């Protein structure tokens, strides 16, 4: 008799995941903003004992050009151990890598050689649109029913955006997830509280409002996303909308508590139209409803007009532009990427309503152009963007590109890609690993990072 054993990288609880062996590889989506060569999935050696530490050791080129690889995820994760939908026979083997611009989805096999993954299947955009009614796949999450994909546009690239499901073994597109979407029209990120039968989604905009860059009239007119949506996860039904207010624009990354008994999470608002600040909010229960409370304000920094790109000259300030956040596995530290000023901030959020800043580094930035001990020159551009944390919370990786057309609006000279790593102290405090600075090949820019065996934004858990 064959005995099925769960994938050893699946853990019932976040506490057990924190005890996992350190990762030795990172997978990084990298794109060519000019679409002159195919985008790539890069494999970076993150084993400090390795001779190739801090270097790209392999790249998988996509079969077409112009995909704009952006966010991606695993086919399966620790949610496969949940009692409501157990799939213990699954394994964390395939990376699901969509092109945000092309709507093409690539299935990349990391087995048998994790250092040399290969493409095993490509799902063309026509199939996605026909089966799911959506385009521009953005967020990939492995969940209890399969692979959840948040898409930013419908089949015509307009509203509504939404969620569709893929089979986690065959990778067939099953179809649209929503049974009743209520007032929801815009889409961006998706995550859930499995123990509370709740899904949460956030908002950006339809593809025609960002694919050629942010549109000032839409931004200043408060017509980008500013709402959170709460759903019944099992009934696939919209329950509640919370509007953060028309001065807050671009409500992006969702980071729920890893402990499934906790019904709260963090989300960032990229910009406030009144003063260019960024903010962090906590969603939480308030009686029988959900509520949202702002807990962090990050102000802009004054700057001379001649230091600023055309889009910002009239404001005479550098906005922090918080474009990504990530939460450590023990729900203690929140990491905040300030892509505009160049800061990566660490907050102790043991009390989610009273964050305390415990660490800060600066690299790049629109004005500061701060360098890194391992860099070859004294001025870097771009800034902390996609951030990922190791399961034990001791290592933090991030890259510096946001989105091709938007990169040029804030860094008009052209963005030179890089990836860095921070070492994090158990009780707070962060510092650059001086040995780890990956200068990206000139034709590509790096975006999201996934860590071998899972990370702090890849898995969800059903046991505390």
Q: What is the per-residue pLDDT across 146-161, written as a single tens digit (0 to 9) for each? A: 999 999 999 999 999 9
Dihedral over alpha carbons 127, 130, 136, 138 (to 10 degrees):
-80
Does 460 map to a domain? no
The pLDDT value given to residue 3: 67
Give the model's confidence band at 5: pLDDT under 50 very low, under 70 low, under 90 confident, else very high: confident
Q: Count CB atoms within 10 A of the CB of residue 42.
A: 21
Give the model's confidence band at 22: pLDDT under 50 very low, under 70 low, under 90 confident, else very high: very high
Q: What is the mean pLDDT of residues 19-33?
A: 98
The pLDDT value given to residue 445: 98
Phi, psi of 139, deg, nearest 5: -105, 135
Does 122 map to a domain? yes
E runs forming strands in 307-365: 317-318, 322-327, 333-338, 343-348, 356-362
Does 2 map to a domain? no
Residue 1, pLDDT above cutoff 70: no
On average, the pLDDT of the chain sits at 96
Residue 2, pLDDT above cutoff 70: no
Q: What is the mean pLDDT of residues 258-282?
A: 98
What is the number of structural domains in the chain? 1
Q: What is the per-residue pLDDT across 48-95, written as a single tens digit (0 to 9) for each? A: 999 999 999 999 999 999 999 999 999 999 999 998 776 778 999 999
Does 3 map to a domain? no
The pLDDT value given to residue 171: 98
Does 420 map to a domain? yes
Domain range spanning residue 173?
14-451
**Which three-class secondary structure state does DSSP give residue 410?**
helix
The pLDDT value given to residue 144: 82
Distance CA 263, CA 47 (A): 35
Does 4 map to a domain? no
Residue 429, pLDDT above cutoff 70: yes
The pLDDT value given to residue 378: 81
Does 327 map to a domain? yes
Does 326 map to a domain? yes
CATH of the domain at 300: 2.130.10.10
């Amino acid at each position: 008799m064959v005995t099925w054993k769960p994938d050893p990288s699946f853990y019932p609880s976040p506490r057990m995941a924190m005890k996992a062996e350190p990762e030795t590889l990172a997978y990084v989506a990298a794109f060519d903003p000019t679409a002159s060569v195919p985008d790539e999935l890069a494999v970076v050696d993150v084993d400090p004992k390795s001779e190739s530490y801090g270097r790209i050791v392999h790249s998988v080129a996509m079969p077409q050009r112009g995909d704009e690889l952006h966010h991606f995820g695993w086919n399966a994760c620790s949610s496969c151990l949940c009692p409501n939908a157990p799939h213990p026979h699954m394994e964390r083997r395939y990376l699901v890598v969509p092109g945000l611009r092309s709507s093409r989805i690539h299935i990349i096999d990391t087995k048998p050689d994790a250092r040399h993954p290969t493409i095993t299947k490509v799902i063309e955009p026509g199939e996605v649109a026909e089966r799911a009614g959506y385009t521009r796949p953005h967020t990939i999450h492995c969940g209890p029913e399969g692979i959840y994909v948040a898409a930013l546009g419908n089949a015509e690239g307009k509203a509504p955006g939404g969620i569709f499901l893929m089979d986690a073994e065959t990778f067939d597109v099953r179809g649209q997830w929503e049974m009743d979407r209520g007032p929801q029209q815009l889409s961006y990120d998706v995550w859930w509280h499995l123990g509370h039968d709740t899904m949460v989604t956030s908002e950006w905009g339809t593809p025609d409002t960002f694919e050629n860059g942010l549109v000032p009239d839409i931004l200043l007119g408060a017509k980008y996303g500013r709402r959170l949506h709460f759903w019944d996860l099992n009934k696939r039904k919209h329950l509640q909308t919370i509007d953060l207010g028309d001065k807050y624009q671009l409500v992006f990354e969702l980071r729920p508590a890893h402990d499934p008994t906790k019904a709260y999470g963090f989300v960032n608002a990229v910009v406030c139209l009144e003063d260019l600040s960024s903010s962090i909010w906590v969603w939480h229960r308030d009686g029988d409803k959900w509520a949202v409370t702002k807990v962090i304000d990050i102000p802009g920094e004054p700057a001379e007009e001649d230091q600023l790109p055309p889009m910002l000259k009239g404001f005479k300030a550098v906005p922090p532009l918080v474009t990504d956040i990530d939460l450590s596995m023990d729900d203690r530290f929140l990491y905040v990427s300030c892509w505009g000023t160049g800061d990566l901030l660490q907050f102790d959020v043991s009390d989610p309503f009273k964050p305390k800043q415990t660490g800060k580094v600066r690299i790049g930035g629109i004005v500061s152009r701060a360098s890194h001990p391992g860099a070859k020159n004294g001025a870097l551009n771009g800034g902390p963007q996609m951030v990922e944390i190791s399961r034990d919370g001791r290592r933090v990786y991030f890259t510096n590109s946001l989105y091709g057309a938007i990169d040029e609006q804030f860094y008009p000279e052209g963005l030179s890609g890089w990836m860095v790593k921070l070492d994090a102290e158990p009780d707070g405090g962060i510092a650059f690993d001086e040995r780890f600075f990956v200068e990206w090949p000139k034709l590509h820019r790096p975006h999201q990072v996934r860590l071998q065996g899972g990370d702090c934004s890849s898995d969800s858990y059903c046991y505390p």
